[in-house]
Structure 1
Amino acid sequence: MVDTTALAATQAYSKAISSATGAKPEAVSNEAIEGPSFAEMLSDAGTDAIETGVNAEQVSLEAITGNTGLADIVTAVSNAEATLETVVAVRDRVIQAYQDIIKMPI
């Protein structure tokens, strides 16, 4: 019978990676741990989103004074809009994941 536990799947995946790369399984698992944490990545993404919004506001203010062109304004506003849509999509996914977790039986 095939073992379908999460531990067995993780070990099989680790073996597949090590055989494909020639690395030891321990080296593969340590590599994954050394990267930035999820909280750091989320914080960086939030900071980038805020900077994009601030940049769009600055370009809009420069447009009022006549110091920038129409193409710069459109580019800054569309970047801010795309960033806002991304933030809203991530927020919606986080809320959905939280609701799914809450619905799980204990």
Structure 2
Amino acid sequence: MINTSLSAANAYNLAQQLTNQTNPDQSLQKAADTKPDFGAMVKDGVQGVLDKGDVAEKTATSMIDGKADVVDVVTAVAETEVALETMVSIRDRVISSYESIMQMPI
């Protein structure tokens, strides 16, 4: 389930990036020319989880004030939960990969 959620999230993000571009060929070439930065990727992922948490918190506060519906709160909390589960899954895979590398003979 987590692998499917991660794949779906990646596909959604890619589709969203592609639809928001004005010149897809230029943006795809730019993406191919840039080197991936693992630290920036992790930072962006953590920031995304934090942003989802903030949205869920604000929605819950709005519900207490009578400005939001229960369905909105449940949806925001569920989105935060999926984002957090995805981040934990990625963390577990990184740790597993690190342990595998450390066990390799030199």
TM-score normalised by the chain length of structure 2: 0.64
Letter in 2 for 1:69: D
The residue correspondences of 1:88-99 to structure 2 (distance < 5 A) are: 88-99=88-99
Q: Which runs of 5+ in 1 are unaligned?
A: 1-29
Runs of 4+ in 1 over 3 A off after TM superposition: 30-33
Quote the residue 1:66 is aligned against: 66
C-alpha separation in 2, matches of 1:36 and 1:105: 27
Quote the residue 2:43 is aligned against: 43
CA deviations 1:17-54 (Å, max 9, x no partner) are: xxxxxxxxxxxxx9634254222222112111110011
1:56 Cα deviation after fit: 0.7
Q: Which has the higher contact order (CA 8 A, sep 6+)?
A: 2
CA deviations 1:64-105 (Å, max 9, x no partner) are: 222100121111011001001101101110110111111111
**Structure with greater Cα Rg:** 1
C-alpha separation in 1, matches of 2:36 and 2:105: 32
Letter in 1 for 2:42: L
* Aligned-partner SS, 2:68: coil
The residue correspondences of 1:1-106 to structure 2 (distance < 5 A) are: 32-106=32-106
Letter in 1 for 2:101: I
Across the two proteins, how many residue pairs are aligned to each other?
A: 77
Q: Which runs of 5+ in 2 are unaligned?
A: 1-29
Quote the residue 1:8 is aligned against: none
